[in-house]
Structures are given as C-alpha cells and as structure tokens.
Amino acid sequence: MANPDQRGRQELLYFDDLHAGQRFTSGTHRIDEEEIKAFARQFDPQPFHVDAEAAKNTLFEGLVASGWHTAAVTMRLLVESGLPVAGGPVGAGGEISWPRPTRPGDVLQVESEVLELRPSRSHPNRGIATVRSETRNQRGEVVQVLIAKLVVPRRSAAAPAPDAPSRDAVVHDVASP
Amino acid sequence: MANPDQRGRQELLYFDDLHAGQRFTSGTHRIDEEEIKAFARQFDPQPFHVDAEAAKNTLFEGLVASGWHTAAVTMRLLVESGLPVAGGPVGAGGEISWPRPTRPGDVLQVESEVLELRPSRSHPNRGIATVRSETRNQRGEVVQVLIAKLVVPRRSAAAPAPDAPSRDAVVHDVASP
C-alpha cells in the first residue's frame, strides 16, 4: 500500500516546520473488490458493501467501499507518506464527509493542506495543526474530505520527556489550549 | 461481535417512525490486543497501535486502538443492533472525536440519539436524520462521539423504485435538501 519506502525519504516535520498553506501528497493505493468485501464483512456488513449482485439494486447501483474503509485507507496513506509529521499523525477528531463512494479498482491518493497552526498554551512542547486532507480517485474525483486537528511536537520536544502528557491532556489541548 | 441475533428482533424504522430525542443502545464488543494490532498493521501502523512495548514510551503510555478502528467497531455495532433504520445506516459524513483512546480489553457499546429530522425536498421518498452516537467503554467513559447525517427512506419508499437515486443525489440531499 502506498510507496513503502517513501517515508524513509521524507524528513519528519515538527510544529515549527509547518506553515499554513503547506501541502503534501501521499503515495497511492488501489482498492479491489475483495478488500472492500473483507473490510465490510468485519465492520460494515451491508449489502452494498459485501454483495456485488445485491448492490446493483441499492442507491449505490453497485458495490462500494464502506466510508470507514475509505477513511482507514486514507490513514494508511497519511501515515506512510502523506503527512510526514514528527510522532506520526495523531488526531483527536475532526469532520469527515464522503462526497462520492469508493468503488472497486479505484486508485486513491491523499492531498493535504495545513489550514491553521496554534501553539499549545498549556503544553509548550507541542502545537495543534488543523489539516484538510482530500482523498481522490484516479479521475481526480474527491471521495473523502477530512479536516482533522493534529497534535504535533515542537522541535524542543524531540526527546520524549519522562512526564509525557497523557491522552487526556492531548484532548484538553485540542478542546481548550 | 455485538449480539448476532439482536437485529432480527428489532423492527426496522423508517424516517416517519423517528423522532427527535429517540434513543437506541447497541450490543457490545470486547476489543482485544490482537485485533488492535491487526487493524493497525493494515491501516495505521504507528508504534502506539502495533507495539505494546514501544507504546509505553509514547504519549498514550501503552497500546491503544487506532481511532479509525474505534470508528469501524462502532459502525459494526450500529449496523448489527444499534441503529435499526430501514436500508441500514447510510451516512454522507459527520463530525467525529475521540475524547479517550480505546485500550485492549475494553468492551464497547454505542448509545445513539436522534437530534434532528429533515424531510428531503428534492426526494420525497426519504429524509435526513442527524444522529449523535456515543461509544463508551465498560467504565462508561466516552471513547468516541460521532454526529452523523443519515439518509433514511420514508415508509412510502419501502419498495425500491426503478429510478433509485444515485449516491451523488444522496450527497446533494445532505448538502442542500
């Protein structure tokens, strides 16, 4: 999935290295019918996700991936190559929409843009980056838009502190820095 | 996962059967360490999701599930028992947050509440339901909040029409009814 060695070639970015308008492009992933069905059998067993014949008579008029599958593949692309932030993309939430479904054979790619940066007041060793990630298919059609708030360490925080903040502190940060 | 036979015991609800304030409770699912790692290896291969030892030195202080895994398990619980709407829970997007991480051994359950109902102007055979779904662990702590807009058929639309609307029409509905 994606370009397995792309991450190694990218420099990891800290909060201080980011700026609004900065863009990133992920590798690609081709999603096939078996993957769509396997994910859906486990997590979203509805006819339009697990049965190509039955799917023809639904509003999707054919087999489509669960939106949560599109979200999961997007995350893989972001982790591997699409969002080279230090510590990895750690989000506390966001807005998600699926303007179009993902269909078998679609080749997905994620384009991300930094929208806003906000240093944390309570935790000077990190900041919150708001990032918009559009997942597109091979025709350039947007299948998912995700606007996420990510926790990104500052350069000074490169070495993990012994009093590493808890996840609750992270969430507090995002909610009220 | 969840109560396999619970859906069969529930009557499926159409848009006309829903009202604001209506609540639903799903079955439960216990998530274990192997599941967390297997999902993460495929979709979110970061140390705090795939390596219990390495996770101790991260801000999570131990292994946690990918937020997208919590989302996927939540969807399974909603499809099987937690949101008995006709046609299944079909969403075009929403807001998601993870106030706390899901950890190995957590038993998840989803409580949903109908927030708002809006008949479709362009498609009289369906409506849009805004539903808030809280996923809680066995201690009652909220690990995910999802506020989703769902497309729900009206009773008159029980038989699939030959001119079934396309997914694009669904999205248009949600964006501008």
Q: What is the pLDDT of residues B40-58, one digit of tens each?
A: 999 999 999 999 999 999 8
Residues of A in Cβ contact (< 8 Å) with B100 = 167-168, 171
Q: Which residue intervals of A28-119 are DSSP H helices?
A: 33-43, 47-50, 52-55, 67-77
Structural domain count of chain A: 1
pLDDT digits (tens, 9 = 90+) for A74-110: 999 999 999 999 888 888 889 999 999 999 999 999 9
Q: Other CB atoms closer than 10 Å to residue A52's CB: what's the count? A: 15
Residue A101 belongs to some domain of the structure: yes
CATH code for the domain of B141 = 3.10.129.10
Residue B169 belongs to some domain of the structure: no
Q: Given pLDDT bands bounded at 50, 70 and 90, which one contains residue B87?
A: confident
Quote the pLDDT of residue A69. 98
Size of interface A-B (CB pairs under 8 A): 131
Residues of B in Cβ contact (< 8 Å) with A79 = 44-46
Residue A168 belongs to some domain of the structure: no
Residue A91 belongs to some domain of the structure: yes
Answer yes or no: is pLDDT of A148 > 60. yes
Give the whole-angstrom CA distance, residue A14 versus residue B71: 28
Give the whole-angstrom CA distance, residue A154 versus residue A118: 11
Quote the pLDDT of residue B163. 40
Answer yes or no: is pLDDT of A172 > 90. no
Nearest by CB to A60, which of B89, B100, B167? B167
Domain that holds residue A38: 15-157
Q: What is the mean pLDDT of residues B85-110?
A: 93
Answer yes or no: is pLDDT of B174 > 60. no
Nearest CA in chain A to B40: A76
pLDDT digits (tens, 9 = 90+) for B8-52: 456 889 999 999 999 999 999 999 999 999 999 999 999 999 999
Residue B45 belongs to some domain of the structure: yes
- Collapsing DSSP to helix, strand or coil, A140 comes out as coil
Quote the pLDDT of residue B172. 47
Mutation pick from A51, A69, A76, A170 vs chain B, by most beta carbons of B within 10 Å, is A76
Quote the pLDDT of residue A158. 52
